[in-house]
Amino acid sequence: MALLITNWIAGYIADGSVSKSRPFLAGIGVMLIATLLFFLATDPYLIIFARALQGASEALVWVSGIAFLVSQVGEANLGVCMGYTTLGATIGELIGPLLGGYLYEKLGHWAVFGVVEVVIAADIVLRLLVKEKDLTTQQRTPVDAVKGVSETESLLEASAAVSHGTISRTLPTDVECGEEDNRTAFYKTGDCEDGYDAVSELCSLGWNWLSSVIGAAVACIVRSALEATIPIYVLRHFGWTSSAGGGVMFALLFPMVGGPLVGKYTTLNGPRWFSSLASLACGIFMVTLGCLTGDDPTTQTLFVLNIGLVGLCISLGTTTQTTAISAAAQRAEVLRARIRSSGVEISWKLRMLTPGMMLSGLSTAWALGLFFGPACGSIFHFSTNQEWLHLCCFLGMICVATGFYCSSTWKKWR
Protein backbone atom coordinates (compact mmCIF):
# COMPACT_ATOMS: atom_id res chain seq x y z
CA MET A 1 0.00 0.00 0.00
CA ALA A 2 2.88 2.37 0.80
CA LEU A 3 4.34 1.63 -2.63
CA LEU A 4 1.03 2.46 -4.31
CA ILE A 5 0.56 5.72 -2.40
CA THR A 6 4.09 7.10 -2.87
CA ASN A 7 4.45 6.33 -6.60
CA TRP A 8 3.13 9.71 -7.73
CA ILE A 9 5.26 11.58 -5.21
CA ALA A 10 8.30 9.73 -6.52
CA GLY A 11 7.37 10.77 -10.06
CA TYR A 12 7.37 14.46 -9.20
CA ILE A 13 10.63 14.10 -7.28
CA ALA A 14 12.20 12.56 -10.37
CA ASP A 15 10.86 15.46 -12.47
CA GLY A 16 12.27 18.09 -10.15
CA SER A 17 15.73 16.58 -9.83
CA VAL A 18 18.46 17.77 -12.20
CA SER A 19 20.38 14.54 -11.66
CA LYS A 20 18.24 11.45 -12.17
CA SER A 21 20.63 9.33 -10.09
CA ARG A 22 20.27 11.38 -6.91
CA PRO A 23 16.67 10.36 -6.12
CA PHE A 24 17.70 6.74 -6.72
CA LEU A 25 20.59 7.01 -4.28
CA ALA A 26 18.32 8.69 -1.73
CA GLY A 27 15.73 5.94 -2.14
CA ILE A 28 18.23 3.10 -1.88
CA GLY A 29 19.72 4.76 1.22
CA VAL A 30 16.28 4.90 2.86
CA MET A 31 15.74 1.27 1.87
CA LEU A 32 19.01 0.34 3.57
CA ILE A 33 17.90 2.05 6.79
CA ALA A 34 14.37 0.60 6.59
CA THR A 35 15.73 -2.92 6.14
CA LEU A 36 18.05 -2.44 9.12
CA LEU A 37 15.10 -1.21 11.19
CA PHE A 38 12.92 -4.12 10.05
CA PHE A 39 15.44 -6.74 11.15
CA LEU A 40 16.35 -5.07 14.45
CA ALA A 41 12.90 -3.91 15.58
CA THR A 42 10.99 -5.90 18.18
CA ASP A 43 7.90 -3.72 18.53
CA PRO A 44 5.12 -4.74 16.05
CA TYR A 45 4.26 -1.15 15.20
CA LEU A 46 7.89 -0.38 14.46
CA ILE A 47 8.09 -3.41 12.19
CA ILE A 48 5.00 -2.24 10.29
CA PHE A 49 6.52 1.23 9.99
CA ALA A 50 9.74 -0.29 8.62
CA ARG A 51 7.79 -2.23 5.99
CA ALA A 52 5.90 0.90 4.97
CA LEU A 53 9.21 2.76 4.73
CA GLN A 54 10.56 -0.03 2.53
CA GLY A 55 7.57 0.33 0.23
CA ALA A 56 7.98 4.09 -0.02
CA SER A 57 11.70 3.78 -0.76
CA GLU A 58 10.99 1.12 -3.37
CA ALA A 59 8.71 3.55 -5.21
CA LEU A 60 11.45 6.18 -5.29
CA VAL A 61 14.08 3.66 -6.39
CA TRP A 62 11.92 2.17 -9.13
CA VAL A 63 10.63 5.45 -10.59
CA SER A 64 13.94 7.31 -10.44
CA GLY A 65 15.80 4.26 -11.75
CA ILE A 66 13.55 4.05 -14.81
CA ALA A 67 13.79 7.83 -15.26
CA PHE A 68 17.59 7.54 -15.19
CA LEU A 69 17.49 4.77 -17.79
CA VAL A 70 15.14 6.71 -20.07
CA SER A 71 17.37 9.78 -19.86
CA GLN A 72 20.45 7.79 -20.88
CA VAL A 73 19.21 5.85 -23.92
CA GLY A 74 17.49 6.82 -27.14
CA GLU A 75 14.11 5.52 -28.22
CA ALA A 76 15.64 3.04 -30.67
CA ASN A 77 17.31 1.19 -27.79
CA LEU A 78 14.65 1.84 -25.17
CA GLY A 79 12.66 -1.35 -25.76
CA VAL A 80 15.69 -3.63 -25.40
CA CYS A 81 16.78 -1.86 -22.21
CA MET A 82 13.32 -2.08 -20.70
CA GLY A 83 13.23 -5.78 -21.61
CA TYR A 84 16.42 -6.33 -19.64
CA THR A 85 14.92 -4.34 -16.76
CA THR A 86 11.87 -6.59 -16.50
CA LEU A 87 14.12 -9.63 -16.96
CA GLY A 88 16.29 -8.54 -14.04
CA ALA A 89 13.24 -8.03 -11.83
CA THR A 90 11.97 -11.51 -12.74
CA ILE A 91 15.32 -13.13 -12.00
CA GLY A 92 15.32 -11.46 -8.60
CA GLU A 93 11.80 -12.69 -7.97
CA LEU A 94 12.82 -16.25 -8.87
CA ILE A 95 16.08 -16.38 -6.93
CA GLY A 96 15.14 -14.24 -3.91
CA PRO A 97 12.60 -16.55 -2.22
CA LEU A 98 14.67 -19.66 -2.94
CA LEU A 99 17.89 -18.17 -1.60
CA GLY A 100 16.19 -16.44 1.33
CA GLY A 101 14.35 -19.58 2.38
CA TYR A 102 17.50 -21.70 2.19
CA LEU A 103 19.57 -19.20 4.17
CA TYR A 104 16.89 -18.80 6.81
CA GLU A 105 16.52 -22.56 7.20
CA LYS A 106 20.25 -23.34 7.31
CA LEU A 107 21.87 -20.25 8.84
CA GLY A 108 19.07 -18.32 10.49
CA HIS A 109 17.66 -14.82 10.64
CA TRP A 110 20.94 -12.88 10.61
CA ALA A 111 22.26 -14.59 7.49
CA VAL A 112 19.28 -13.30 5.50
CA PHE A 113 19.79 -9.84 6.98
CA GLY A 114 23.47 -9.83 6.04
CA VAL A 115 22.84 -10.85 2.43
CA VAL A 116 20.09 -8.23 1.99
CA GLU A 117 22.28 -5.43 3.36
CA VAL A 118 25.24 -6.48 1.22
CA VAL A 119 23.09 -6.53 -1.93
CA ILE A 120 21.71 -3.05 -1.20
CA ALA A 121 25.21 -1.70 -0.45
CA ALA A 122 26.53 -3.22 -3.69
CA ASP A 123 23.66 -1.56 -5.57
CA ILE A 124 24.69 1.81 -4.15
CA VAL A 125 28.31 1.28 -5.19
CA LEU A 126 27.34 0.25 -8.71
CA ARG A 127 25.13 3.30 -9.14
CA LEU A 128 27.96 5.57 -7.97
CA LEU A 129 30.17 4.03 -10.65
CA VAL A 130 27.64 4.82 -13.41
CA LYS A 131 28.33 8.20 -14.99
CA GLU A 132 25.46 10.28 -16.25
CA LYS A 133 25.72 11.74 -19.71
CA ASP A 134 27.37 15.14 -19.81
CA LEU A 135 24.73 17.76 -20.52
CA THR A 136 27.04 19.34 -23.07
CA THR A 137 26.99 16.15 -25.10
CA GLN A 138 23.19 16.15 -25.10
CA GLN A 139 22.81 19.62 -26.55
CA ARG A 140 20.95 19.53 -29.84
CA THR A 141 20.17 21.91 -32.57
CA PRO A 142 16.71 23.58 -32.35
CA VAL A 143 15.24 21.37 -35.04
CA ASP A 144 16.73 18.24 -33.45
CA ALA A 145 15.33 19.29 -30.08
CA VAL A 146 11.84 19.30 -31.54
CA LYS A 147 12.40 16.04 -33.35
CA GLY A 148 13.99 14.46 -30.29
CA VAL A 149 17.09 13.19 -32.09
CA SER A 150 20.66 14.40 -32.52
CA GLU A 151 22.67 14.48 -35.72
CA THR A 152 24.85 11.59 -34.57
CA GLU A 153 21.98 9.19 -33.91
CA SER A 154 21.15 6.43 -36.34
CA LEU A 155 18.74 6.75 -39.25
CA LEU A 156 16.33 4.42 -37.48
CA GLU A 157 16.18 6.72 -34.45
CA ALA A 158 15.75 9.73 -36.66
CA SER A 159 12.80 8.29 -38.54
CA ALA A 160 11.21 7.22 -35.26
CA ALA A 161 11.66 10.59 -33.60
CA VAL A 162 10.53 12.79 -36.49
CA SER A 163 6.97 11.90 -35.65
CA HIS A 164 7.69 10.90 -32.05
CA GLY A 165 4.75 8.65 -32.42
CA THR A 166 2.27 11.45 -31.96
CA ILE A 167 3.51 14.25 -34.25
CA SER A 168 1.50 13.93 -37.41
CA ARG A 169 3.62 16.12 -39.66
CA THR A 170 7.28 16.72 -40.35
CA LEU A 171 8.49 20.09 -39.16
CA PRO A 172 10.08 22.43 -41.71
CA THR A 173 13.81 23.05 -41.66
CA ASP A 174 15.83 26.19 -42.40
CA VAL A 175 16.76 24.81 -45.82
CA GLU A 176 13.13 24.22 -46.75
CA CYS A 177 11.78 27.48 -45.37
CA GLY A 178 14.71 29.76 -46.12
CA GLU A 179 16.58 31.92 -43.71
CA GLU A 180 14.79 35.19 -44.33
CA ASP A 181 14.73 37.54 -41.34
CA ASN A 182 17.35 35.23 -39.75
CA ARG A 183 14.59 33.07 -38.20
CA THR A 184 15.30 29.43 -37.44
CA ALA A 185 13.02 26.49 -37.99
CA PHE A 186 12.58 26.18 -34.26
CA TYR A 187 11.33 29.74 -34.08
CA LYS A 188 8.88 28.93 -36.84
CA THR A 189 7.53 25.98 -34.86
CA GLY A 190 7.24 28.10 -31.73
CA ASP A 191 4.05 29.89 -32.83
CA CYS A 192 0.61 29.41 -31.33
CA GLU A 193 -0.57 27.09 -34.11
CA ASP A 194 2.23 24.65 -33.44
CA GLY A 195 1.60 25.01 -29.71
CA TYR A 196 -2.03 24.02 -30.11
CA ASP A 197 -0.96 21.04 -32.23
CA ALA A 198 1.44 19.99 -29.49
CA VAL A 199 -1.31 20.28 -26.87
CA SER A 200 -3.55 18.01 -28.94
CA GLU A 201 -0.72 15.53 -29.41
CA LEU A 202 0.08 15.57 -25.69
CA CYS A 203 -3.57 14.89 -24.87
CA SER A 204 -3.64 11.93 -27.27
CA LEU A 205 -0.36 10.68 -25.86
CA GLY A 206 -1.82 10.85 -22.36
CA TRP A 207 -4.73 8.60 -23.27
CA ASN A 208 -2.38 6.12 -24.94
CA TRP A 209 -0.15 6.18 -21.86
CA LEU A 210 -3.15 5.49 -19.62
CA SER A 211 -4.09 2.46 -21.72
CA SER A 212 -0.57 1.07 -21.32
CA VAL A 213 -0.71 1.57 -17.55
CA ILE A 214 -4.03 -0.28 -17.42
CA GLY A 215 -2.69 -3.06 -19.64
CA ALA A 216 0.43 -3.45 -17.50
CA ALA A 217 -1.67 -3.41 -14.31
CA VAL A 218 -3.95 -6.19 -15.58
CA ALA A 219 -0.93 -8.31 -16.57
CA CYS A 220 0.55 -7.78 -13.09
CA ILE A 221 -2.77 -8.64 -11.42
CA VAL A 222 -3.03 -11.94 -13.31
CA ARG A 223 0.58 -12.76 -12.58
CA SER A 224 0.30 -11.96 -8.86
CA ALA A 225 -2.97 -13.88 -8.57
CA LEU A 226 -1.38 -16.98 -10.08
CA GLU A 227 1.74 -16.61 -7.95
CA ALA A 228 -0.44 -16.51 -4.84
CA THR A 229 -2.78 -19.37 -5.75
CA ILE A 230 -0.94 -21.91 -7.93
CA PRO A 231 1.44 -23.29 -5.22
CA ILE A 232 -1.52 -23.84 -2.89
CA TYR A 233 -3.79 -25.27 -5.59
CA VAL A 234 -1.31 -27.84 -6.91
CA LEU A 235 -0.55 -28.89 -3.33
CA ARG A 236 -4.24 -29.40 -2.51
CA HIS A 237 -5.45 -30.80 -5.81
CA PHE A 238 -2.49 -32.72 -7.23
CA GLY A 239 -0.70 -33.43 -3.98
CA TRP A 240 2.55 -32.00 -5.35
CA THR A 241 5.44 -31.01 -3.12
CA SER A 242 6.65 -27.45 -2.62
CA SER A 243 9.50 -28.13 -5.06
CA ALA A 244 7.03 -29.18 -7.76
CA GLY A 245 5.00 -26.05 -7.06
CA GLY A 246 8.18 -24.01 -7.49
CA GLY A 247 8.70 -25.71 -10.86
CA VAL A 248 5.25 -24.59 -11.97
CA MET A 249 6.11 -21.04 -10.93
CA PHE A 250 9.30 -21.31 -12.96
CA ALA A 251 7.17 -22.20 -16.01
CA LEU A 252 5.09 -19.06 -15.36
CA LEU A 253 8.06 -16.70 -15.04
CA PHE A 254 10.60 -18.21 -17.45
CA PRO A 255 9.14 -16.57 -20.62
CA MET A 256 10.31 -13.22 -19.25
CA VAL A 257 13.78 -14.06 -20.63
CA GLY A 258 12.43 -13.01 -24.03
CA GLY A 259 11.79 -9.48 -22.75
CA PRO A 260 14.66 -7.77 -24.63
CA LEU A 261 13.51 -9.23 -27.96
CA VAL A 262 9.90 -8.20 -27.30
CA GLY A 263 11.07 -4.71 -26.39
CA LYS A 264 13.05 -4.44 -29.61
CA TYR A 265 10.07 -5.23 -31.82
CA THR A 266 7.77 -3.04 -29.73
CA THR A 267 10.12 -0.11 -30.42
CA LEU A 268 9.87 -0.79 -34.15
CA ASN A 269 6.16 -1.56 -34.50
CA GLY A 270 4.42 -0.12 -31.47
CA PRO A 271 2.50 -1.82 -28.65
CA ARG A 272 -0.99 -1.93 -30.13
CA TRP A 273 -1.23 -5.41 -31.62
CA PHE A 274 1.34 -7.05 -29.38
CA SER A 275 -0.53 -6.01 -26.24
CA SER A 276 -3.96 -6.75 -27.72
CA LEU A 277 -3.07 -10.26 -28.89
CA ALA A 278 -1.23 -11.01 -25.65
CA SER A 279 -4.24 -10.01 -23.54
CA LEU A 280 -6.76 -11.90 -25.69
CA ALA A 281 -4.61 -15.04 -25.77
CA CYS A 282 -4.03 -14.80 -22.02
CA GLY A 283 -7.79 -14.68 -21.48
CA ILE A 284 -8.28 -17.85 -23.54
CA PHE A 285 -5.48 -19.72 -21.78
CA MET A 286 -6.79 -18.68 -18.37
CA VAL A 287 -10.19 -20.21 -19.14
CA THR A 288 -8.61 -23.46 -20.35
CA LEU A 289 -6.45 -23.49 -17.22
CA GLY A 290 -9.60 -23.47 -15.11
CA CYS A 291 -10.85 -26.54 -16.97
CA LEU A 292 -7.66 -28.57 -16.43
CA THR A 293 -8.65 -30.11 -13.11
CA GLY A 294 -8.18 -33.82 -13.84
CA ASP A 295 -5.75 -35.84 -11.71
CA ASP A 296 -4.23 -37.93 -14.51
CA PRO A 297 -0.66 -37.38 -15.81
CA THR A 298 -1.85 -36.01 -19.17
CA THR A 299 -3.97 -33.32 -17.56
CA GLN A 300 -1.14 -32.42 -15.18
CA THR A 301 1.25 -32.03 -18.11
CA LEU A 302 -1.26 -29.86 -19.97
CA PHE A 303 -1.73 -27.83 -16.80
CA VAL A 304 1.98 -26.98 -16.64
CA LEU A 305 2.13 -26.25 -20.38
CA ASN A 306 -0.90 -23.98 -20.07
CA ILE A 307 0.81 -22.13 -17.22
CA GLY A 308 3.80 -21.61 -19.50
CA LEU A 309 1.57 -20.16 -22.25
CA VAL A 310 -0.07 -17.82 -19.75
CA GLY A 311 3.40 -16.74 -18.62
CA LEU A 312 4.37 -16.10 -22.24
CA CYS A 313 1.34 -13.85 -22.73
CA ILE A 314 2.03 -12.00 -19.48
CA SER A 315 5.66 -11.50 -20.50
CA LEU A 316 4.67 -10.17 -23.90
CA GLY A 317 2.07 -7.81 -22.46
CA THR A 318 4.24 -6.55 -19.59
CA THR A 319 7.33 -5.80 -21.67
CA THR A 320 5.27 -4.22 -24.47
CA GLN A 321 3.42 -1.89 -22.11
CA THR A 322 6.58 -1.05 -20.16
CA THR A 323 8.31 -0.01 -23.38
CA ALA A 324 5.28 2.05 -24.44
CA ILE A 325 5.10 3.87 -21.09
CA SER A 326 8.81 4.71 -21.22
CA ALA A 327 8.58 5.95 -24.81
CA ALA A 328 5.52 8.04 -23.90
CA ALA A 329 7.52 9.74 -21.14
CA GLN A 330 10.30 10.61 -23.59
CA ARG A 331 7.85 12.00 -26.11
CA ALA A 332 5.90 13.98 -23.51
CA GLU A 333 9.09 15.84 -22.58
CA VAL A 334 9.56 16.95 -26.20
CA LEU A 335 5.91 17.99 -26.59
CA ARG A 336 6.00 19.97 -23.36
CA ALA A 337 9.09 21.79 -24.64
CA ARG A 338 7.20 22.73 -27.82
CA ILE A 339 4.25 23.99 -25.78
CA ARG A 340 6.48 26.09 -23.54
CA SER A 341 8.25 27.65 -26.49
CA SER A 342 4.92 28.61 -28.08
CA GLY A 343 3.58 30.24 -24.93
CA VAL A 344 0.28 28.33 -25.12
CA GLU A 345 -1.46 27.68 -21.81
CA ILE A 346 -2.54 24.13 -21.01
CA SER A 347 -5.05 22.72 -18.53
CA TRP A 348 -4.03 21.52 -15.08
CA LYS A 349 -4.61 17.92 -16.19
CA LEU A 350 -1.98 18.20 -18.91
CA ARG A 351 0.36 20.06 -16.58
CA MET A 352 0.26 17.00 -14.34
CA LEU A 353 1.24 14.80 -17.28
CA THR A 354 4.98 15.10 -16.64
CA PRO A 355 7.58 12.52 -17.69
CA GLY A 356 8.25 11.51 -14.08
CA MET A 357 4.56 11.08 -13.34
CA MET A 358 4.16 8.97 -16.47
CA LEU A 359 7.08 6.75 -15.47
CA SER A 360 5.50 6.29 -12.06
CA GLY A 361 2.72 4.47 -13.93
CA LEU A 362 5.08 1.49 -14.18
CA SER A 363 5.46 1.06 -10.44
CA THR A 364 1.76 1.87 -9.97
CA ALA A 365 0.84 -1.02 -12.27
CA TRP A 366 3.18 -3.29 -10.33
CA ALA A 367 1.75 -2.14 -6.97
CA LEU A 368 -1.83 -2.67 -8.19
CA GLY A 369 -0.88 -6.20 -9.21
CA LEU A 370 0.63 -6.95 -5.81
CA PHE A 371 -2.49 -5.58 -4.10
CA PHE A 372 -5.35 -6.91 -6.22
CA GLY A 373 -3.79 -10.20 -7.40
CA PRO A 374 -3.79 -11.95 -4.03
CA ALA A 375 -7.13 -10.27 -3.25
CA CYS A 376 -8.68 -12.14 -6.20
CA GLY A 377 -7.49 -15.42 -4.69
CA SER A 378 -9.04 -14.49 -1.36
CA ILE A 379 -12.38 -13.61 -2.92
CA PHE A 380 -12.73 -16.77 -5.01
CA HIS A 381 -11.09 -19.11 -2.45
CA PHE A 382 -10.19 -21.75 -5.17
CA SER A 383 -10.42 -24.64 -2.68
CA THR A 384 -12.61 -26.67 -5.06
CA ASN A 385 -12.44 -27.26 -8.81
CA GLN A 386 -15.52 -25.12 -9.34
CA GLU A 387 -14.02 -22.21 -7.40
CA TRP A 388 -10.74 -22.58 -9.30
CA LEU A 389 -12.70 -22.36 -12.57
CA HIS A 390 -14.47 -19.22 -11.35
CA LEU A 391 -11.14 -17.58 -10.47
CA CYS A 392 -9.58 -18.44 -13.83
CA CYS A 393 -12.67 -17.29 -15.77
CA PHE A 394 -12.72 -13.98 -13.91
CA LEU A 395 -9.05 -13.33 -14.68
CA GLY A 396 -9.64 -14.46 -18.26
CA MET A 397 -12.53 -12.03 -18.73
CA ILE A 398 -10.55 -9.01 -17.54
CA CYS A 399 -7.74 -10.05 -19.90
CA VAL A 400 -10.13 -10.23 -22.87
CA ALA A 401 -11.68 -6.86 -21.99
CA THR A 402 -8.19 -5.36 -21.74
CA GLY A 403 -7.27 -6.82 -25.11
CA PHE A 404 -10.20 -5.14 -26.85
CA TYR A 405 -9.45 -1.87 -25.07
CA CYS A 406 -5.77 -1.94 -26.06
CA SER A 407 -6.70 -2.58 -29.69
CA SER A 408 -8.36 0.84 -29.80
CA THR A 409 -5.27 2.72 -28.54
CA TRP A 410 -1.77 3.50 -29.89
CA LYS A 411 -3.20 3.55 -33.41
CA LYS A 412 -0.24 5.63 -34.49
CA TRP A 413 3.25 4.83 -33.29
CA ARG A 414 5.60 6.42 -35.79
- The reply to whether 144 falls in a domain is no
Give 353-410 as a DSSP string. Answer: --HHHHHHHHHHHHHHHHHHHHHHHHHH---SHHHHHHHHHHHHHHHHHHHHHHHTS-
pLDDT score recorded for residue 188: 40
Would 168 be classed as within a structural domain?
no
The secondary structure element, H or E, covering residue 65 is: helix 44-72
Provide the CATH number for the domain around residue 382: 1.20.1250.20
Neighbours of 247 (CB within 10 A): 14
Give the integer Cα–Cα distance in Å for 362 and 245.
28
77 within some domain: yes
Longest dimension (CA), the chain: 82
What is the C-alpha to C-alpha distance for residues 66 and 359, in angstroms, rounded to an integer? 7
Q: How many helices (H) and strands (E) does the chain have?
A: 17, 0
Domain count for the chain: 1
- According to the model, what pLDDT value does residue 191 have? 61
As a whole number of angstroms, the distance between CA 184 and CA 163 comes to: 19
Residue 310's pLDDT is what? Answer: 95
Residue 177, in any domain of the structure: no
Residue 178 lies in a domain: no
Report the pLDDT value the prediction gives residue 371, as an integer from 0 to 100.
87
Answer whether residue 299 is part of any domain. Answer: yes
Q: Is residue 43 domain-resident? A: yes
> Is residue 10 a part of any domain in this protein?
yes
Does residue 222 contact residue 366 with C-beta atoms inside 8 Å? no
Hey, which bits of 221-363 come out as E strands?
none
User: Would you state the pLDDT for residue 1?
Assistant: 67
* pLDDT score at 181: 40
Q: Residues of 209-220 as b/e, b for ≥16 C-beta within 10 angstroms?
A: bbbbbbbbbbbb
Range of the domain at 347: 2-131+195-407
Residuewise pLDDT in 10s, the chain (414 residues): 666 777 777 777 777 776 767 788 888 888 888 888 888 888 888 888 888 888 888 878 888 888 888 888 887 888 888 888 877 777 777 777 667 777 777 787 788 888 888 888 888 888 777 777 654 444 443 334 334 433 333 433 443 443 344 434 444 443 333 333 433 333 344 467 777 888 899 999 999 999 999 999 999 999 999 988 988 888 888 888 766 777 788 888 888 888 888 888 999 999 999 999 999 999 999 999 999 988 888 988 999 999 999 999 999 999 999 999 999 998 998 898 888 888 888 888 888 888 888 888 888 888 888 889 989 888 888 888 899 999 999 999 999 999 999 999 999 887
